[in-house]
Structure 1
Amino acid sequence: MVMNAHLPVQPHDLLWGLPLAAVPADAPAWVGEVVSMGHPLVVRRAQVDEGYVAVGVRGRSRGQRFAAVMKLSAITRQVKPEQLVAAVDKVETDWPALRALKQIRPVLDAVGLPWGIAGSAGFELATGIKVLHQDSDLDLILRADRFFSRVQAAELVKALEDASCRIDLQLQTPFGAVALREWASSARQVLLKADDGARLVSNPWQPQERAA
């Protein structure tokens, strides 16, 4: 999947192409090793200069995460979380997170919104690199460009609760991301994660709430 100028780069996308020379000199040694092996980087939320994208480098252990930036012009390949859904049917391993994917796919397809696979499961499906284990959660995204009610959120939480592992699903609104479980709760305000930071809001679909 080659980078296309008409395909926007969004959080949780996997990107290839960061040159080793672009790794900061003060980065831990493992960062250079990961980049030299050609592993993808994951797009993260942060404000960066025009022509760049904020990315995260993933190491072998859970604690190995490094924040970096990458030139958009350097991208040689891009995989979006929703592009990984088709790979679910080809999965041969039997980790709980992958079993859960097969269980909940009809539920998410029925919602009628684009959804995708992020986190460890997405990384493994995209690369073939074994990072999942028995206790891995399943990280998913649901692209909710339009208002997704709290009633809908609560119904979806209930529909997903019998899966083989814990599912962490983020609603991707035009102004940031909010956890499905939090939006389904009775909390008056929820945490919206945006490019310019996180804030408590009452409606993640209202642009005026981006103000500090």
Structure 2
Amino acid sequence: MPFALVGLTLIPAVSGALRLVELLGGPHVMPANPRIAGSPAPVVVHILSVVPYAVLGAFQFSSRLRRRRPRWHRAAGRVLVGLGLAVAFSGLWMTLFYPRQTGTGELAYLLRLAVGSAMAASIILGFAAIRRGDVARHQAWMTRAYAVALGAGTQVFTQGVGQAVLGTSELATDLGLGAGWAINLAVAELVIRRPRGRRQGGRPIYPAAKAGAS
């Protein structure tokens, strides 16, 4: 699972890396975006946080790694809380203060506000749950937050399909964006609601969860 999740992030990660190189004075290989050129700070924060969040977060889903290296899992989790909040708040920053992205409409604007807020809330609720020693709720909220963060990977496909079916319009773009997040969250809920024995392989995955949360 971790490598499949990392694979899903490759296209947006490469795109983000190229944009970051461009902002740091490198060659311009991405389409010009005056919104970013005028205020690059939130984009830089977003890229520098979302790529490690997506890659490091993928390995939090490895039950073998959680069992064998619980201390590593907890240490990585603390880093991911900071990275995830940076992803969510920088995304909200861009949504609220950048000019509207060309080719998108009101629906995309509202969706970005909703998913950014939902990601931040999920991380905070997940962190609060593990501090109480509530592993099940911690897993559920962190899975939802990660699903939102991986939206860009799924949107590569949903936007392509949406434009092929509906044409190139604001509505098609907005629906493609929404479909990416909806698919990820639906898969996350299926993972969360799987029987515990199947999800954990019949063995505890946090041998010292309560001790580590205290």
**TM beyond 0.5:** no
TM-score between the two structures when normalised by the length of structure 1: 0.29
Which protein is richer in helix relative to its size? 2
TM-score between the two structures when normalised by the length of structure 2: 0.29
Higher relative contact order structure (alpha carbons within 8 Å, sequence separation ≥ 6): 2
